[in-house]
Copies of this chain bind each other. A is one copy, B any other.
């Protein structure tokens, strides 16, 4: 069983990592639209158009499921992508909400959603969470977290000051949804800032979601990985080697 993973850039590799560890698939085809990243500041039509082009790309491969690692695409385009794709398409938002339901049954919990501007203004996480009767929800688009993570400035004064800035009106949340593929990279910093918050990670959520919704008859010895980029593949390859700790 082969899977595709689509992201606007390199961030989706944080979703690939737990998928590789689980060995559910014989092969994963990753496509990062690095030429047009970031999607999180674009509008709905552009995001959908680019995502439809990615679905066309994955038609060249014999995959059974396409995982949309990008929260922004999951927020705006899932339904349209699902329309005429010859494979199943799953997004990280549904998966994240399912993970939250399992781990945090208390409907009165304080939930903090972090995402890109586009993800947050879509209101999709809120919609799903309200449908599940969660009520104490705050959404935030801390735009600087992505470039800070990309600069590798973990544990830095800059990141600490950025957290102080964005979180100045937030009192200790019970749960933080990492609603952007880059945010697992700053998970440790977020935990230092909010020591009591449980973090919901898209990659781990998608693994559980797949196990729940698909029949996996066996585990593979190893999951092969192929990586494609719309620009600068060497950069993506370099980051993949570091994050995934394997040759590509």
Residues of A within 8 A of B (CB): 34-37, 41-43, 45-46, 143-144, 146-148, 150-151, 153, 156-158, 161-162, 165, 230-232
Closest 4 CB pairs of A and B: A43-B232, A46-B231, A147-B147, A158-B161
**Contact partner of A161 among B34, B143, B157, B232, CB < 8 A?**
B157
Interface of A is mostly: loop
Q: Which of A36, A150, A158, A161 has the most CB of B within 10 A?
A: A158
Asked whether A144 lies within 8 Å of B147 as measured between CB atoms, the reply is yes
Docked CA distance A150–B141 (Å): 13
B158 A232 Cβ-Cβ under 8 A: no
Complex CA–CA separation, A196 to B45 (angstroms): 47
Selected from B35, B45, B46, B158, the residue in CB contact (under 8 A) with A42 is B35
Q: Are A158 and B151 in contact (CB under 8 A)?
A: no
In angstroms, Cα B165 to Cα A143, docked, is: 19
What separation, in Å, do the CA atoms of A125 and B15 have in the docked complex?
39
Contact of A231 among B42, B156, B162, B230 (CB under 8 A): B42
Within the complex, what minimum Cβ distance (angstroms) separates A75 from chain B?
16
Can you show 14 pairs from A to B with CB atoms below 8 A apart?
A35-B36, A35-B42, A35-B46, A36-B36, A46-B230, A46-B231, A143-B150, A144-B144, A144-B147, A144-B148, A144-B153, A146-B147, A157-B161, A158-B161
**Which of B41, B43, B146, B165 has a CB less than 8 Å from the CB of A158?**
B165
CA distance in complex: A62, B57 (Å): 38
Other-chain contact of A144, B43, B158, B165 (Cβ < 8 Å): B158
Closest partner residue, chain B, to A162 (CB atom) = B158
CB-defined contacts of A161 to chain B, threshold 8 Å: 156-158, 161
Specify which of A150, A161, A230 lies most central, judged by the most chain B CB atoms within 10 Å of its CB: A161
Give CA–CA (A143, B144) in the complex, Å.
11
